[in-house]
Structure 1
Amino acid sequence: MNRVRSTIGVAALAVVTLVGAGACALDPQADPAGDDLAAVSVSGGLSGERASPGSDQLTAPIPARKATATLGTTRTTVQTTSNKTTASSTCPQGEYQRAVETYLAKLGTFGKVIVDGKQSATDCAAIKKFQQRYDIRPVQGRAGPTTHDVSKRLATTNVKSCKTGSGVTFCIDLTRQTTWAMRDGKVVIPPTVTRTGMRGYATPTGTYKINKRNIKEWSNPYEVWLPYWQRFVGGIGYHQTTTYLHDKSIGSHGCINLLPADAKRFWDWGKVGYRVVVFGRRPGT
Protein backbone atom coordinates (compact mmCIF):
# COMPACT_ATOMS: atom_id res chain seq x y z
CA MET A 1 0.00 0.00 0.00
CA ASN A 2 1.32 3.32 -1.01
CA ARG A 3 1.52 5.79 1.81
CA VAL A 4 0.41 9.34 1.12
CA ARG A 5 2.34 11.98 2.94
CA SER A 6 0.97 15.47 3.46
CA THR A 7 2.82 18.45 4.82
CA ILE A 8 1.08 21.34 6.49
CA GLY A 9 2.94 24.65 6.58
CA VAL A 10 2.08 27.18 9.21
CA ALA A 11 3.09 30.80 8.76
CA ALA A 12 2.99 33.37 11.49
CA LEU A 13 2.31 36.95 10.57
CA ALA A 14 3.25 39.67 13.02
CA VAL A 15 1.13 42.73 12.73
CA VAL A 16 2.15 46.00 14.30
CA THR A 17 -0.64 48.47 14.97
CA LEU A 18 -1.04 51.77 16.70
CA VAL A 19 -3.49 51.28 19.54
CA GLY A 20 -5.82 54.09 20.63
CA ALA A 21 -6.76 52.76 24.02
CA GLY A 22 -9.35 55.46 24.63
CA ALA A 23 -10.45 56.22 21.11
CA CYS A 24 -13.91 57.70 20.79
CA ALA A 25 -15.70 57.31 24.09
CA LEU A 26 -17.19 58.85 27.18
CA ASP A 27 -18.11 56.99 30.32
CA PRO A 28 -21.87 56.28 30.40
CA GLN A 29 -23.59 59.38 31.74
CA ALA A 30 -25.99 59.14 34.63
CA ASP A 31 -27.12 62.54 33.44
CA PRO A 32 -27.06 62.49 29.59
CA ALA A 33 -26.14 66.16 29.59
CA GLY A 34 -23.15 65.64 31.85
CA ASP A 35 -19.57 66.38 30.90
CA ASP A 36 -17.77 63.35 32.34
CA LEU A 37 -14.74 63.05 30.09
CA ALA A 38 -13.20 59.83 31.44
CA ALA A 39 -12.36 57.78 28.36
CA VAL A 40 -13.18 54.17 27.66
CA SER A 41 -12.21 52.32 24.54
CA VAL A 42 -15.12 52.47 22.11
CA SER A 43 -15.36 53.06 18.39
CA GLY A 44 -17.24 55.93 16.82
CA GLY A 45 -19.80 53.42 15.59
CA LEU A 46 -21.33 50.88 17.93
CA SER A 47 -20.38 47.25 17.71
CA GLY A 48 -23.06 45.50 15.68
CA GLU A 49 -24.51 48.67 14.23
CA ARG A 50 -26.74 48.11 11.27
CA ALA A 51 -27.37 50.19 8.19
CA SER A 52 -30.70 51.89 7.70
CA PRO A 53 -33.07 49.90 5.49
CA GLY A 54 -33.32 52.97 3.26
CA SER A 55 -36.10 55.23 4.48
CA ASP A 56 -36.26 57.07 1.16
CA GLN A 57 -37.18 53.91 -0.73
CA LEU A 58 -40.70 53.22 -1.97
CA THR A 59 -42.53 50.76 0.25
CA ALA A 60 -43.42 48.40 -2.58
CA PRO A 61 -42.45 48.33 -6.27
CA ILE A 62 -45.20 48.35 -8.89
CA PRO A 63 -45.27 44.90 -10.53
CA ALA A 64 -44.47 44.85 -14.22
CA ARG A 65 -47.18 43.80 -16.62
CA LYS A 66 -46.63 40.51 -18.40
CA ALA A 67 -47.53 39.50 -21.91
CA THR A 68 -50.58 37.21 -21.96
CA ALA A 69 -51.84 34.85 -24.60
CA THR A 70 -55.48 33.84 -25.19
CA LEU A 71 -55.59 30.04 -24.92
CA GLY A 72 -57.51 27.97 -27.45
CA THR A 73 -57.21 30.46 -30.29
CA THR A 74 -54.57 31.48 -32.77
CA ARG A 75 -54.80 35.12 -31.64
CA THR A 76 -52.29 36.49 -29.11
CA THR A 77 -52.98 39.56 -26.99
CA VAL A 78 -49.99 41.48 -25.61
CA GLN A 79 -50.31 44.25 -23.03
CA THR A 80 -47.94 47.11 -23.74
CA THR A 81 -47.09 50.38 -22.08
CA SER A 82 -46.45 53.73 -23.68
CA ASN A 83 -42.90 54.62 -24.65
CA LYS A 84 -43.49 58.13 -23.33
CA THR A 85 -41.18 58.85 -20.39
CA THR A 86 -42.40 61.06 -17.57
CA ALA A 87 -40.61 62.35 -14.51
CA SER A 88 -42.89 60.36 -12.20
CA SER A 89 -42.19 57.06 -13.95
CA THR A 90 -38.41 57.40 -13.80
CA CYS A 91 -38.12 59.40 -10.58
CA PRO A 92 -40.92 58.96 -8.01
CA GLN A 93 -42.22 61.97 -6.13
CA GLY A 94 -41.73 61.88 -2.38
CA GLU A 95 -43.89 63.18 0.45
CA TYR A 96 -41.43 66.04 1.08
CA GLN A 97 -41.15 67.24 -2.52
CA ARG A 98 -41.78 70.96 -1.99
CA ALA A 99 -39.71 71.17 1.21
CA VAL A 100 -36.73 69.43 -0.38
CA GLU A 101 -36.99 71.67 -3.44
CA THR A 102 -36.96 74.69 -1.13
CA TYR A 103 -33.90 73.53 0.82
CA LEU A 104 -31.93 72.55 -2.30
CA ALA A 105 -32.73 75.92 -3.87
CA LYS A 106 -31.36 77.61 -0.75
CA LEU A 107 -28.20 75.49 -0.77
CA GLY A 108 -27.78 76.31 -4.45
CA THR A 109 -25.03 73.81 -5.28
CA PHE A 110 -26.91 70.84 -6.71
CA GLY A 111 -28.38 72.22 -9.90
CA LYS A 112 -31.59 73.97 -10.81
CA VAL A 113 -34.78 73.04 -8.97
CA ILE A 114 -38.32 74.28 -9.50
CA VAL A 115 -40.04 74.97 -6.19
CA ASP A 116 -43.59 73.90 -7.00
CA GLY A 117 -44.05 70.64 -5.12
CA LYS A 118 -44.11 68.63 -8.34
CA GLN A 119 -41.42 66.22 -9.45
CA SER A 120 -39.68 66.97 -12.74
CA ALA A 121 -36.63 65.68 -14.58
CA THR A 122 -34.73 68.78 -13.42
CA ASP A 123 -35.73 68.28 -9.80
CA CYS A 124 -34.91 64.59 -10.01
CA ALA A 125 -31.37 65.27 -11.24
CA ALA A 126 -30.73 67.77 -8.43
CA ILE A 127 -32.11 65.46 -5.74
CA LYS A 128 -30.06 62.53 -7.02
CA LYS A 129 -26.93 64.66 -6.98
CA PHE A 130 -27.69 65.66 -3.39
CA GLN A 131 -28.31 62.04 -2.37
CA GLN A 132 -25.06 60.91 -3.95
CA ARG A 133 -23.10 63.65 -2.20
CA TYR A 134 -24.39 62.72 1.25
CA ASP A 135 -24.64 58.94 0.76
CA ILE A 136 -28.43 58.85 1.11
CA ARG A 137 -29.62 55.43 0.01
CA PRO A 138 -31.08 54.51 -2.39
CA VAL A 139 -30.15 57.22 -4.89
CA GLN A 140 -33.41 57.45 -6.80
CA GLY A 141 -34.30 61.15 -6.70
CA ARG A 142 -37.22 60.68 -4.33
CA ALA A 143 -37.79 63.36 -1.68
CA GLY A 144 -38.27 60.99 1.23
CA PRO A 145 -37.70 61.40 5.00
CA THR A 146 -33.91 61.08 5.00
CA THR A 147 -33.42 63.46 2.07
CA HIS A 148 -35.74 65.93 3.77
CA ASP A 149 -33.98 65.63 7.13
CA VAL A 150 -30.47 66.06 5.73
CA SER A 151 -31.36 68.93 3.39
CA LYS A 152 -33.18 70.77 6.19
CA ARG A 153 -30.26 70.41 8.61
CA LEU A 154 -27.79 71.73 6.06
CA ALA A 155 -29.98 74.56 4.77
CA THR A 156 -30.78 75.84 8.28
CA THR A 157 -27.22 75.69 9.66
CA ASN A 158 -26.05 79.17 10.63
CA VAL A 159 -22.26 79.31 10.30
CA LYS A 160 -22.21 82.59 12.25
CA SER A 161 -23.49 80.80 15.35
CA CYS A 162 -19.99 79.38 15.88
CA LYS A 163 -17.66 81.67 17.85
CA THR A 164 -14.41 81.23 15.99
CA GLY A 165 -11.97 84.08 16.52
CA SER A 166 -8.77 84.06 14.47
CA GLY A 167 -7.10 81.04 12.92
CA VAL A 168 -8.76 77.75 11.97
CA THR A 169 -11.78 76.53 13.93
CA PHE A 170 -13.78 73.33 13.50
CA CYS A 171 -17.43 73.96 14.40
CA ILE A 172 -19.95 71.31 15.52
CA ASP A 173 -23.68 72.08 15.76
CA LEU A 174 -25.08 69.22 17.84
CA THR A 175 -28.68 70.35 17.35
CA ARG A 176 -28.53 70.11 13.56
CA GLN A 177 -25.86 67.41 13.50
CA THR A 178 -23.65 69.40 11.15
CA THR A 179 -20.01 70.45 11.17
CA TRP A 180 -17.90 72.92 9.20
CA ALA A 181 -14.57 74.77 9.36
CA MET A 182 -13.71 78.45 9.39
CA ARG A 183 -10.50 80.45 9.12
CA ASP A 184 -10.39 84.02 10.37
CA GLY A 185 -14.19 84.17 10.30
CA LYS A 186 -14.60 82.81 6.76
CA VAL A 187 -15.95 79.38 5.83
CA VAL A 188 -13.28 77.08 4.38
CA ILE A 189 -15.22 73.80 4.68
CA PRO A 190 -18.98 74.27 4.13
CA PRO A 191 -21.41 72.60 6.56
CA THR A 192 -21.74 68.85 6.12
CA VAL A 193 -23.59 66.15 8.01
CA THR A 194 -22.26 64.34 11.04
CA ARG A 195 -23.47 61.95 13.74
CA THR A 196 -22.46 62.58 17.33
CA GLY A 197 -22.91 60.91 20.71
CA MET A 198 -26.09 58.95 21.36
CA ARG A 199 -28.23 59.10 24.49
CA GLY A 200 -26.08 58.50 27.55
CA TYR A 201 -22.91 59.41 25.63
CA ALA A 202 -23.72 62.96 24.54
CA THR A 203 -20.81 64.80 22.94
CA PRO A 204 -19.73 67.47 25.47
CA THR A 205 -20.14 71.10 24.52
CA GLY A 206 -17.33 73.60 24.91
CA THR A 207 -14.19 74.91 23.24
CA TYR A 208 -11.28 72.51 22.81
CA LYS A 209 -8.12 71.99 20.76
CA ILE A 210 -7.05 69.10 18.59
CA ASN A 211 -4.44 67.27 20.67
CA LYS A 212 -3.78 64.13 18.64
CA ARG A 213 -3.99 63.06 15.00
CA ASN A 214 -3.59 59.63 13.47
CA ILE A 215 -4.34 58.69 9.87
CA LYS A 216 -5.72 55.37 11.13
CA GLU A 217 -6.40 54.90 14.83
CA TRP A 218 -7.11 51.49 16.38
CA SER A 219 -9.85 51.45 19.03
CA ASN A 220 -10.12 48.87 21.82
CA PRO A 221 -12.03 46.84 22.88
CA TYR A 222 -14.30 47.09 19.82
CA GLU A 223 -11.42 46.23 17.49
CA VAL A 224 -12.20 48.68 14.73
CA TRP A 225 -10.10 51.15 12.77
CA LEU A 226 -10.99 54.83 12.97
CA PRO A 227 -9.72 56.49 9.76
CA TYR A 228 -8.66 60.16 9.85
CA TRP A 229 -8.66 60.33 13.64
CA GLN A 230 -8.43 63.82 15.19
CA ARG A 231 -8.93 63.82 18.96
CA PHE A 232 -9.92 66.99 20.80
CA VAL A 233 -11.16 66.00 24.28
CA GLY A 234 -10.87 62.83 26.36
CA GLY A 235 -11.33 59.94 23.97
CA ILE A 236 -13.46 61.96 21.56
CA GLY A 237 -12.54 63.13 18.09
CA TYR A 238 -13.38 63.38 14.42
CA HIS A 239 -13.17 60.22 12.32
CA GLN A 240 -14.69 58.47 9.33
CA THR A 241 -17.90 56.63 10.14
CA THR A 242 -17.78 52.84 10.36
CA THR A 243 -21.54 52.45 9.69
CA TYR A 244 -24.35 54.00 7.64
CA LEU A 245 -24.29 57.62 8.80
CA HIS A 246 -28.02 58.23 8.42
CA ASP A 247 -29.19 55.45 10.71
CA LYS A 248 -30.61 57.68 13.45
CA SER A 249 -31.45 54.78 15.74
CA ILE A 250 -27.79 54.61 16.72
CA GLY A 251 -24.98 57.03 17.41
CA SER A 252 -21.39 57.28 18.54
CA HIS A 253 -20.04 57.15 22.06
CA GLY A 254 -19.24 60.84 21.73
CA CYS A 255 -17.20 61.04 18.53
CA ILE A 256 -17.86 63.12 15.43
CA ASN A 257 -18.70 60.59 12.70
CA LEU A 258 -18.15 61.75 9.12
CA LEU A 259 -18.64 60.44 5.61
CA PRO A 260 -15.35 59.25 4.06
CA ALA A 261 -14.79 62.26 1.79
CA ASP A 262 -15.63 64.68 4.60
CA ALA A 263 -13.37 62.90 7.09
CA LYS A 264 -10.47 63.25 4.68
CA ARG A 265 -11.23 66.90 4.01
CA PHE A 266 -11.22 67.75 7.72
CA TRP A 267 -8.03 65.70 8.09
CA ASP A 268 -6.34 67.66 5.31
CA TRP A 269 -7.24 70.93 7.02
CA GLY A 270 -6.58 69.87 10.59
CA LYS A 271 -3.51 70.37 12.76
CA VAL A 272 -2.71 69.79 16.41
CA GLY A 273 -3.65 72.96 18.26
CA TYR A 274 -6.55 73.97 16.03
CA ARG A 275 -9.68 75.05 17.88
CA VAL A 276 -12.87 72.92 18.05
CA VAL A 277 -16.13 74.56 19.15
CA VAL A 278 -19.05 72.30 20.13
CA PHE A 279 -22.49 73.77 20.86
CA GLY A 280 -26.18 72.85 20.92
CA ARG A 281 -27.63 69.48 21.84
CA ARG A 282 -28.41 66.44 19.74
CA PRO A 283 -32.17 65.72 19.81
CA GLY A 284 -32.95 62.79 22.08
CA THR A 285 -29.82 63.05 24.23
Structure 2
Amino acid sequence: MRRRVGVTLGLTGLVVPLTVALGGPARAASCTTRTGPYQTRVERFLGRPVDGRQSPADCAATRAFQRAHGITPAIGYAGPLTWRTMNTMLAQRAAGKTPNRAGPCPTNRGRIACVDLTRQLSWIQDGARLAYGPVPVRTGRDGAETRTGAKRVYHRNVRHWSTIYKVWMPYAQFFDGGQAFHSVTKSMYNPPGSGGCVNMRDADARAYWRLLGNGDDVYVYGRKPGT
Protein backbone atom coordinates (compact mmCIF):
# COMPACT_ATOMS: atom_id res chain seq x y z
CA MET A 1 0.00 0.00 0.00
CA ARG A 2 1.49 3.32 -1.10
CA ARG A 3 2.25 5.77 1.71
CA ARG A 4 0.92 9.30 1.08
CA VAL A 5 2.93 12.24 2.32
CA GLY A 6 1.45 15.74 2.77
CA VAL A 7 3.18 19.07 2.27
CA THR A 8 1.83 22.17 4.03
CA LEU A 9 1.90 25.12 1.68
CA GLY A 10 2.69 28.37 3.43
CA LEU A 11 0.03 31.01 4.07
CA THR A 12 -2.86 29.10 2.53
CA GLY A 13 -2.50 26.10 4.84
CA LEU A 14 -3.22 23.92 1.80
CA VAL A 15 -2.05 20.34 2.07
CA VAL A 16 -1.31 18.51 -1.16
CA PRO A 17 -0.38 14.80 -1.27
CA LEU A 18 2.98 14.42 -2.95
CA THR A 19 1.68 11.58 -5.10
CA VAL A 20 -0.88 14.03 -6.49
CA ALA A 21 1.49 17.01 -6.62
CA LEU A 22 3.99 15.00 -8.62
CA GLY A 23 1.33 13.56 -10.90
CA GLY A 24 2.06 10.01 -9.70
CA PRO A 25 5.25 7.93 -9.91
CA ALA A 26 5.31 8.04 -13.71
CA ARG A 27 5.99 11.80 -13.67
CA ALA A 28 8.41 11.93 -10.74
CA ALA A 29 11.40 12.04 -13.12
CA SER A 30 10.46 15.60 -14.15
CA CYS A 31 11.50 16.87 -10.72
CA THR A 32 14.75 18.80 -11.15
CA THR A 33 17.97 17.90 -9.39
CA ARG A 34 19.34 21.44 -9.77
CA THR A 35 19.95 23.62 -6.73
CA GLY A 36 18.26 27.00 -7.23
CA PRO A 37 19.60 30.42 -6.20
CA TYR A 38 16.96 30.65 -3.43
CA GLN A 39 17.37 27.09 -2.21
CA THR A 40 18.09 27.93 1.43
CA ARG A 41 15.23 30.41 1.75
CA VAL A 42 12.77 28.07 0.04
CA GLU A 43 13.82 25.20 2.32
CA ARG A 44 13.27 27.39 5.37
CA PHE A 45 9.85 28.54 4.17
CA LEU A 46 8.70 24.98 3.52
CA GLY A 47 10.02 23.68 6.84
CA ARG A 48 12.60 21.49 5.14
CA PRO A 49 16.10 20.79 6.55
CA VAL A 50 18.10 23.87 5.60
CA ASP A 51 21.33 22.81 3.89
CA GLY A 52 21.18 24.75 0.60
CA ARG A 53 21.32 21.57 -1.50
CA GLN A 54 18.50 20.20 -3.60
CA SER A 55 17.18 16.78 -2.59
CA PRO A 56 14.28 14.70 -3.93
CA ALA A 57 12.19 15.68 -0.89
CA ASP A 58 13.07 19.37 -1.31
CA CYS A 59 12.09 19.20 -4.96
CA ALA A 60 8.81 17.44 -4.20
CA ALA A 61 7.84 20.01 -1.57
CA THR A 62 8.77 22.93 -3.83
CA ARG A 63 6.94 21.42 -6.76
CA ALA A 64 3.79 20.90 -4.70
CA PHE A 65 3.89 24.59 -3.77
CA GLN A 66 4.40 25.61 -7.40
CA ARG A 67 1.54 23.50 -8.68
CA ALA A 68 -0.83 24.75 -5.98
CA HIS A 69 -0.25 28.35 -7.09
CA GLY A 70 0.16 27.97 -10.86
CA ILE A 71 3.88 28.70 -10.92
CA THR A 72 5.47 27.26 -14.06
CA PRO A 73 7.51 25.31 -14.87
CA ALA A 74 6.53 23.29 -11.79
CA ILE A 75 9.74 21.28 -11.59
CA GLY A 76 10.74 22.04 -8.00
CA TYR A 77 13.41 24.60 -8.87
CA ALA A 78 13.98 27.25 -6.16
CA GLY A 79 14.05 30.17 -8.57
CA PRO A 80 13.18 33.89 -8.36
CA LEU A 81 9.43 33.61 -8.99
CA THR A 82 8.94 30.87 -6.40
CA TRP A 83 10.86 32.81 -3.77
CA ARG A 84 9.09 36.08 -4.66
CA THR A 85 5.75 34.36 -4.06
CA MET A 86 6.90 32.97 -0.72
CA ASN A 87 8.35 36.32 0.30
CA THR A 88 5.00 37.99 -0.41
CA MET A 89 3.32 35.41 1.82
CA LEU A 90 5.80 36.18 4.60
CA ALA A 91 5.05 39.91 4.30
CA GLN A 92 1.34 39.14 4.53
CA ARG A 93 1.84 37.03 7.63
CA ALA A 94 3.85 39.84 9.23
CA ALA A 95 0.97 42.27 8.67
CA GLY A 96 -1.17 40.31 11.11
CA LYS A 97 -4.23 42.27 12.19
CA THR A 98 -2.50 45.65 11.90
CA PRO A 99 -1.99 46.05 8.13
CA ASN A 100 -2.19 49.85 8.38
CA ARG A 101 0.30 50.16 11.23
CA ALA A 102 2.48 52.59 9.26
CA GLY A 103 -0.60 54.61 8.28
CA PRO A 104 -0.33 54.79 4.47
CA CYS A 105 -4.06 54.24 3.94
CA PRO A 106 -6.09 57.30 5.07
CA THR A 107 -8.40 56.64 8.03
CA ASN A 108 -10.15 60.01 8.21
CA ARG A 109 -12.75 59.26 5.52
CA GLY A 110 -15.03 56.79 7.26
CA ARG A 111 -15.29 53.49 5.41
CA ILE A 112 -12.44 52.86 2.98
CA ALA A 113 -11.05 49.82 1.15
CA CYS A 114 -7.24 49.79 1.22
CA VAL A 115 -5.11 47.97 -1.37
CA ASP A 116 -1.39 47.52 -0.72
CA LEU A 117 0.20 46.39 -3.99
CA THR A 118 3.59 45.73 -2.40
CA ARG A 119 2.24 43.14 0.02
CA GLN A 120 -0.66 42.11 -2.22
CA LEU A 121 -3.06 42.75 0.65
CA SER A 122 -6.42 44.45 0.98
CA TRP A 123 -8.60 45.34 3.94
CA ILE A 124 -11.50 47.61 4.90
CA GLN A 125 -11.21 50.34 7.52
CA ASP A 126 -13.99 52.13 9.39
CA GLY A 127 -11.99 55.13 10.47
CA ALA A 128 -9.24 53.79 12.73
CA ARG A 129 -11.05 50.45 13.18
CA LEU A 130 -10.18 47.45 11.03
CA ALA A 131 -13.55 46.32 9.67
CA TYR A 132 -12.44 43.36 7.50
CA GLY A 133 -9.22 41.59 6.56
CA PRO A 134 -6.47 41.85 5.70
CA VAL A 135 -6.85 39.35 2.87
CA PRO A 136 -4.50 38.33 0.03
CA VAL A 137 -5.32 39.76 -3.39
CA ARG A 138 -4.03 39.35 -6.94
CA THR A 139 -3.47 42.66 -8.70
CA GLY A 140 -2.39 43.81 -12.16
CA ARG A 141 0.52 42.17 -13.96
CA ASP A 142 3.51 44.02 -15.42
CA GLY A 143 2.18 46.30 -18.16
CA ALA A 144 -1.39 46.20 -16.80
CA GLU A 145 -0.79 47.44 -13.27
CA THR A 146 -3.58 48.30 -10.87
CA ARG A 147 -3.49 52.09 -10.80
CA THR A 148 -2.56 53.80 -7.54
CA GLY A 149 -4.23 56.70 -5.78
CA ALA A 150 -7.54 57.69 -4.22
CA LYS A 151 -10.62 56.18 -5.92
CA ARG A 152 -14.30 55.56 -5.24
CA VAL A 153 -16.63 52.68 -6.01
CA TYR A 154 -18.79 53.88 -8.90
CA HIS A 155 -20.49 50.77 -10.28
CA ARG A 156 -21.42 47.37 -8.86
CA ASN A 157 -22.60 44.20 -10.59
CA VAL A 158 -23.00 40.93 -8.72
CA ARG A 159 -22.40 38.91 -11.92
CA HIS A 160 -20.52 41.06 -14.39
CA TRP A 161 -19.43 39.68 -17.78
CA SER A 162 -16.11 41.01 -19.07
CA THR A 163 -16.39 41.81 -22.77
CA ILE A 164 -12.59 42.20 -22.90
CA TYR A 165 -11.50 38.91 -21.31
CA LYS A 166 -14.72 36.93 -21.93
CA VAL A 167 -15.00 35.79 -18.32
CA TRP A 168 -17.45 36.27 -15.47
CA MET A 169 -16.44 38.71 -12.74
CA PRO A 170 -18.60 37.81 -9.73
CA TYR A 171 -19.22 40.50 -7.09
CA ALA A 172 -17.59 43.15 -9.28
CA GLN A 173 -17.18 46.58 -7.71
CA PHE A 174 -15.58 49.06 -10.11
CA PHE A 175 -13.46 51.87 -8.71
CA ASP A 176 -11.20 53.12 -11.54
CA GLY A 177 -11.86 53.03 -15.28
CA GLY A 178 -12.74 49.35 -15.57
CA GLN A 179 -10.61 48.15 -12.65
CA ALA A 180 -12.64 46.40 -9.99
CA PHE A 181 -12.67 44.14 -6.97
CA HIS A 182 -14.07 40.75 -7.98
CA SER A 183 -13.73 37.07 -7.19
CA VAL A 184 -11.72 34.51 -9.15
CA THR A 185 -11.14 30.79 -8.75
CA LYS A 186 -7.35 31.02 -9.21
CA SER A 187 -4.80 31.12 -6.42
CA MET A 188 -4.10 34.66 -5.24
CA TYR A 189 -0.45 33.94 -6.01
CA ASN A 190 -0.97 32.76 -9.59
CA PRO A 191 1.49 34.65 -11.82
CA PRO A 192 1.79 36.98 -13.58
CA GLY A 193 -1.32 38.71 -12.17
CA SER A 194 -4.62 40.21 -13.32
CA GLY A 195 -5.39 42.57 -16.16
CA GLY A 196 -5.58 45.40 -13.62
CA CYS A 197 -8.44 44.32 -11.38
CA VAL A 198 -8.05 43.36 -7.74
CA ASN A 199 -8.79 39.63 -7.75
CA MET A 200 -10.11 38.12 -4.53
CA ARG A 201 -11.14 34.77 -3.12
CA ASP A 202 -14.88 34.22 -3.36
CA ALA A 203 -15.60 34.60 0.38
CA ASP A 204 -13.61 37.85 0.52
CA ALA A 205 -15.30 39.28 -2.58
CA ARG A 206 -18.69 38.47 -1.03
CA ALA A 207 -17.68 40.24 2.18
CA TYR A 208 -16.54 43.32 0.23
CA TRP A 209 -19.87 43.26 -1.60
CA ARG A 210 -21.73 43.38 1.72
CA LEU A 211 -19.51 46.04 3.28
CA LEU A 212 -18.98 48.48 0.39
CA GLY A 213 -21.33 50.53 -1.76
CA ASN A 214 -21.30 53.13 -4.49
CA GLY A 215 -19.39 56.20 -3.33
CA ASP A 216 -17.22 54.38 -0.80
CA ASP A 217 -13.54 55.27 -0.86
CA VAL A 218 -10.76 53.03 -2.19
CA TYR A 219 -7.08 53.78 -1.77
CA VAL A 220 -4.41 51.92 -3.76
CA TYR A 221 -0.71 52.31 -3.05
CA GLY A 222 2.67 50.57 -3.35
CA ARG A 223 4.10 48.52 -6.18
CA LYS A 224 3.47 44.87 -6.96
CA PRO A 225 6.63 42.71 -6.83
CA GLY A 226 7.77 41.94 -10.36
CA THR A 227 6.25 45.05 -11.99
TM-score under structure 1 length normalisation:
0.50
C-alpha spacing 1:56/1:213, structure 2 compared with 1 (3 Å): same
Alignment RMSD (CA, Å): 3.2
C-alpha spacing 1:95/1:215, structure 2 compared with 1 (3 Å): same
Gaps of at least 5 residues in structure 2 are: 1-13, 26-42, 51-66, 70-81
* Structure 1 residue 203: Cα displacement: 0.8
**Contact 2:88–2:119 at 8 Å: present in 1 too?**
no
- Please point out which of 161, 177, 184 is paired with 1:241: 184
Residues paired across the two proteins, number: 161
One-letter identity of the residue aligned with 2:218: V
Match of 1:175 in 2: 118
Instruction: Deviation per CA, 1:189-225: give whole Å up to 9, x if none.
Output: 0211001000001111100110001111011132211
* Structure 1 residue 246: Cα displacement: 2.0
Which structure 2 residues correspond to residues 1-285 of structure 1 after superposition, within 5 A?
Answer: 95-96=44-45, 137=68, 149-156=88-95, 158-159=99-100, 160-247=103-190, 249-285=191-227
C-alpha spacing 1:167/1:192, structure 2 compared with 1 (3 Å): same
**Contact 1:166–1:185 at 8 Å: present in 2 too?**
no
Cα distance in 1 between the residues matched to 2:218 and 2:151? 5
Cα distance in 1 between the residues matched to 2:113 and 2:140? 17
C-alpha spacing 1:137/1:174, structure 2 compared with 1 (3 Å): same
C-alpha spacing 1:56/1:162, structure 2 compared with 1 (3 Å): farther
* Structure 1 residue 232: Cα displacement: 0.4
Aligned residue for 2:151, secondary structure, equals strand
Aligned residue for 1:261, secondary structure, equals helix
Instruction: Deviation per CA, 1:254-279: give whole Å up to 9, x if none.
Output: 10000011110111101000000000
Instruction: Deviation per CA, 1:220-254: give whole Å up to 9, x if none.
Output: 1322110000000101010001433221x221111
Percent identity between matched residues is: 34
* Structure 1 residue 57: Cα displacement: 7.0
Cα distance in 2 between the residues matched to 1:137 and 1:283? 19
**Contact 1:56–1:147 at 8 Å: present in 2 too?**
no
Aligned residue for 1:191, secondary structure, equals strand
**Contact 2:185–2:201 at 8 Å: present in 1 too?**
no
Cα distance in 1 between the residues matched to 2:16 and 2:151? 36
Cα distance in 2 between the residues matched to 1:62 and 1:227? 35
C-alpha spacing 1:61/1:217, structure 2 compared with 1 (3 Å): closer
Cα distance in 1 between the residues matched to 2:87 and 2:146? 24
Higher share in strand: 2
Higher share in helix: 2
